[in-house]
Amino acid sequence: MEKELITLSHICKSYNGQMILDDLNLVIHENEFVTLLGPSGCGKTTTLRIIGGFEIPDSGQVIFDGQDITNLVPNKRQLNTVFQKYALFTHMDIADNIAFGLRIKNKTDQYIRDKISYALKLVNLEGYEHRMPDSLSGGQQQRIAIARAIVNEPKVLLLDEPLGALDLKLRQDMQYELIRLKKELGITFLYVTHDQEEALTMSDHIVVMNQGYIQQEGSPEDIYNEPENAFVADFIGDSNIISATMIRDELVRILGIEWPCVDKGFGNEQPVDVVIRPEDVELVPRGQGRLPGVVSHIIFKGVHYEMEVQAGGFEWLVHSTKEFPEGTEVDIRVDPFNIQVMNRPASEDEQAIGVEDV
């Protein structure tokens, strides 16, 4: 594990009496690609702005590389920010845009020329020094904004939904570019998005937020395969989330049927939620599975069929490479390892905070 680089300790922030961040604690390690993920208004951008120095928390501390920087102005912090709007200077050519921060620091002309050349090569835009920003595509402008940030040699690059204005293909291309840049630069990336695919594709570590709280954090695989509550399961990809009863360790009652699972420690006859991903639902001929159902809807998605199956009074979402036409009678089968059992929140507050924080 790399050393701790940024620590947010008991951060609180409110606007006009509305709490945005409530006792938030977060540790970011050196050389990680960390993504703050969540719906609009969850507090992810506010968290980024507090780290960047654009907002001061009402209480709590921001520790950067062992130093308290809570009240330090942005230009004194060893980080740079790339915004969704790029914020390029339209009256300056690309070279002058990239050199702006370096000239403020009174770097020599030769140093600046070398840095411009290095940065343009890194973002695959060599030879663009004398172009104007309005002659570039959205993706090229985004690369210039990144180049302008990295020439300052920050320890951390903050990215606030930087791909949101790009079309799908360009956004996917830029995801791979950012992964490459992170590996080549060897610096810490802190990325804000509401796009689950972006988070899963690029991140070493994902922090899922909702209503000012951290719901869960971990690797993309952990977040997807082992969601800790219904919010995370529903927000990260498609899910079947069903109320159930934990009969005992490794046995859960779902829709009136007993299903073997691998989860333990929930007690006996306890109300729980279960999450089963659509790709983990197996449709088999009637009589070969555990729960009978009927296919009610089917769409071809290219790599798989997306089907809705009415079974046990619940509408199951199923992804399969096998086609089952509407009206087909089927059985549902699920491997025990693919049934994820979660504590059921006792209240709306508990649901917002996340079970692990109660």
Burial class (CB in 10 A: 0-12, 13-18, 19+), 313: exposed
For residue 213, give every residue at least 6 positions away whose Cβ sits within 8 Å of its Cβ, in sequence order, or none: 22, 24, 43, 352, 353, 354, 357
How far apart (Å, rounded) are the C-alpha atoms in residues 223 and 353?
16
How far apart (Å, rounded) are the C-alpha atoms in residues 355 and 358?
6
Looking at domain 4-225, its CATH superfamily turns out to be P-loop containing nucleotide triphosphate hydrolases (3.40.50.300)
Contact 178, 202 (CB under 8 A): yes
Contact 246, 254 (CB under 8 A): no
In this predicted model, what pLDDT tens digit does every residue of 319-338 receive, in sequence order? Answer: 999 999 999 999 999 999 99
Q: Which two tokens stand for residue 118?
A: 């290095």
**How much is the pLDDT for 348?**
46
**How much is the pLDDT for 149?**
85
> What Cα–Cα distance (Å) separates residue 230 from each residue in 102, 227, 236, 246, 343?
47, 7, 10, 16, 9
CATH numeric code, 282-333: 2.40.50.140
Q: Phi and psi of 139, rounded to 5°?
A: -65, -40
Residue whose tokens read 């390892």: 337
In this predicted model, what pLDDT tens digit does every residue of 11-69 receive, in sequence order? Answer: 999 998 899 999 999 999 999 999 999 998 899 999 999 999 999 999 999 999 999 99
10-residue mean pLDDT series, the chain (358 residues):
89 92 95 94 94 95 96 90 77 90 87 90 86 86 85 88 76 84 88 91 95 94 91 90 96 97 95 95 96 97 95 97 96 96 67 39
How far apart (Å, rounded) are the C-alpha atoms in residues 339 and 250?
10
Q: Which two tokens stand for residue 228?
A: 């800790």
pTM of the predicted protein model: 0.82
What does DSSP say about strands 188-193 and 156-160: parallel, antiparallel, or unpaired? parallel
**How much is the pLDDT for 124?**
83
How far apart (Å, rounded) are the C-alpha atoms in residues 149 and 290?
56
> What Cα–Cα distance (Å) separates residue 73 from each residue in 44, 51, 152?
20, 11, 16
